[in-house]
Amino acid sequence: MVLNQGMDITATTPRLVYYADAIREALVEAMRRDPTVVLFGEDIGRYGGAFGVTRGLLEEFGEGRVVDTPIAEGGVTGLAIGAALTGLRPVVEYMFMDFITLAMDQIVNHAAKFREIYGEQARVPIVLRAAAGAGRSYGATHSQMLEGWFMHVPGLKVVAPSTAEDVRGLLTAAMADDDPVLFVEHKDLYKVRMPLLEDAAPIPLGQARVLREGDAATILAYSRAVHVAAQAAMHLAREGVAVEVIDLRTLAPLDVDTLGASVRKTGRAIVVTEAFATAGPAAEIAYRVMEQAFAYLEAPVTRITMPPMAIPFAPSLEQAALPQVEDVVRAVKNLVYS
């Protein structure tokens, strides 16, 4: 699948950059502007990160601000939380989101709760960057989308950008936020070139974007699934079916106003996500649609997710498990023509 197709993001930009480079730009701009921004992570210094996102930052900012850590996600996260409590703004890189399981106690029971327990006595301005998602044949323990676990936790914000413009703007906002932010970066997007405007203005957390307007159905997606949805919309448009594509961008807080307005207009909704279905993000999003637009729905909300299985290593099996453009096209037709 060629990412970017069907996405109207090319008209006003002077340059194309890789998604990974947009992340690096946001980090560099924040670190130059604010000396309290520091980076922690495995191999983020001399090696430049598992996916090259932090390449060159050690040379500019030094070992005091770009800290190579041991392979100990729990310890790294605890270190970052302590640094945040004492006045720094740490950004932690998890080499693979799957490894974030080793830091669940620190994130869920400490970072997320200190503000509510101690009020204005404690702030935890920490960004947790997690490389997530399948598509590269990394196998079952290196390919998961686990953002649903963290949407469940009060006190955490969860962001999952799909474009270079959004990843830079949302990361800029996340690093300025006084609360902990889980920042989900899809590995399959890192080496996709996308338009990027020169203006590095932050994008407020909690605001979805109408990527493509239509009236036949609403497709709700985030992260890499937005590209799948956009390509499906392009295929459907050739057949005279105009679907609206909403890039949710932030999952907690979720922009229920935008998704509700769209579904009230179209009367049909499809949620596309690479996470699992059971108690997953798609379930929450679908129920928010029901709350916002039940009386307007002409058909039940459809979910397109990963099947309940360990993500295969074999490329052909992995692709068969991932939501595909044809899955979305088929779902829209079933809704529109049933």
Q: Is 235 a catalytic residue?
A: no
CATH 3.40.50.920 range(s) for the chain read: 209-337
User: Do residues 229 and 223 lie in contact, with contact meaning Cβ atoms separated by under 8 Å?
Assistant: no
Looking at the predicted structure, is the pLDDT value of residue 11 above 60? no
Question: With 80 as the cut, is the pLDDT of residue 137 above it?
Answer: yes
Name the pLDDT band for 247 (thresholds 50, 70, 90): very high
- Averaged confidence pLDDT in the chain: 94
Q: What is the arithmetic mean of pLDDT over 36-52?
A: 96
Q: Which of 42, 73, 185, 318 is catalytic?
A: 73
- pLDDT of residue 1 exceeding 70: no
- Percent of the chain residues past pLDDT 70, beyond the cut: 96
Give the confidence band of 72 by pLDDT, cuts at 50, 70, 90: very high
Mean pLDDT on 34-50 = 96
247 within 8 A of 221, measured Cβ to Cβ: yes
Residue 120, pLDDT score? 85
Q: What would you measure as the largest C-alpha separation in the chain, in angstroms?
A: 61
Q: Which of 25, 110, 142, 165 is catalytic?
A: 142
Could you say which DSSP state residue 211 is in? E
> The whole model's pTM is what?
0.94
pLDDT number for residue 5:
63
Tell me where in the chain the CATH 3.40.50.970 domain(s) lie: 15-196
- The answer to whether residue 152 is catalytic is no
Report the 10 Å Cβ neighbour count for 58.
19
Does residue 174 carry a pLDDT above 80?
yes
The first and second tokens of residue 106, run together, are 């620190």
Q: What does the pLDDT look like over 324-333, one tens digit per residue?
A: 999 999 999 9
The per-residue DSSP string of 159-192 comes to E---SHHHHHHHHHHHHH-SS-EEEEEEGGGTT-
Q: Output the pLDDT for position 338.
A: 80
| pLDDT at site 7 | 61
CA-only gyration radius of the chain, Å: 19
At residue 327, φ and ψ (nearest 5 deg) are -65, -40
Q: Please give the CATH topology (third level) of the domain spanning 15-196.
A: Rossmann fold (3.40.50)
Q: What is the pLDDT of residues 179-209, one digit of tens each?
A: 999 999 999 999 999 999 877 689 999 999 9
Report, at the CATH architecture level, how domain 209-337 is classified.
3-Layer(aba) Sandwich (3.40)
Q: Is 267 helix (H, G, I), strand (E, B) or coil?
A: coil
Q: Let me know: does 192 contact 2? Beta carbons within 8 Å.
A: no
Whole-number pLDDT of residue 111: 97
Q: What is the mean pLDDT of residues 226-250?
A: 97
The pLDDT of residue 134 is above 90: yes
Residue 10: pLDDT band with limits 50, 70, 90: very low
